[in-house]
Amino acid sequence: MDEFMRMAIAEAQQGLAEGGIPIGSVLVKDSQLIARGHNKRVQENNPILHGEMDCLNNAGRIGSYRNTVIYSTLMPCYMCAGTIVQFKIPKVIVGESQTFSGARTFMEAHGVEVIDLNLPECVEMMQQFIQAKPDIWFEDIMEL
């Protein structure tokens, strides 16, 4: 596992420690960390503050995203995937997609390279969260 996925996992763990959903993300450009973030829907009462959205918000205006890679501990949803496509982020590396299949096909159809690492640590973190707080999870993915 590379250092950037480790950073994304640390972000997810921070979100969980704050009482939120354990999904973390980092943005990398030319092998340099640009920003990091985690899902803050619960903490900030913000329905669109998913891990990828928080990370991109923290990046601010960086001009072109064409040489970037976004890491996420979980496969991005359609909202986050739409932003990834809109910003022309060419590559997404995810920790897992077992607990949530997300919008992989959508991103790939728009030319985004998606790499799913299927990391047991990420799967276990999400499974434990979903079991402990199913109401918050199903609200997050709009499955209420």
As to burial, measured by CB atoms within 10 angstroms (0-12 exposed, 13-18 middle, 19+ buried), residue 54 is buried
The domain at 3-141 falls in which architecture? Answer: 3-Layer(aba) Sandwich (3.40)
How far CA 13 is from CA of 112, 116, 138, in Å, comes to 27, 19, 19
Could you read off the pLDDT of 57-115 as tens digits, one per residue?
999 999 999 999 999 999 999 999 999 999 999 999 999 999 999 999 999 999 999 99
Q: Round to whole Å and give the CA distance between 133 and 77.
A: 19
* Sheet of strand 68-72, all strands in order from the earlier edge strand to the far edge: 32-38, 24-29, 68-72, 91-94, 113-116
Instruction: Check pLDDT > 80 for residue 142.
Output: no
Instruction: Check pLDDT > 90 for residue 51.
Output: yes
Q: What percent of the chain has pLDDT over 90?
A: 92
Instruction: Check pLDDT > 80 for residue 118.
Output: yes
Instruction: Check pLDDT > 90 for residue 8.
Output: yes
Residue partners of 115: CB distance under 8 A and separation at least 6: 91, 92, 93, 94
Looking at the DSSP assignment, which residues form a beta bridge with residue 121? Answer: none
The set of catalytic residues is: 52
Lowest-pLDDT range of 8-12, 36-40, 134-138: 134-138
Domain boundaries, the chain: 3-141
Tell me what pLDDT residue 124 has.
98
Tell me what pLDDT residue 115 has.
98
Say which residue the tokens 């920790």 belong to: 95
Q: Round to whole Å and give the CA distance between 63 and 49.
A: 21
DSSP-assigned states of every residue in 43-83: HHT-TT--HHHHHHHHH---S--TTEEEEESS---HHHHHH
Model confidence at 138, pLDDT cuts 50, 70, 90, reads: confident
Model confidence at 143, pLDDT cuts 50, 70, 90, reads: confident
Instruction: Check pLDDT > 80 for residue 14.
Output: yes
Kindly report the pTM of this predicted structure: 0.95
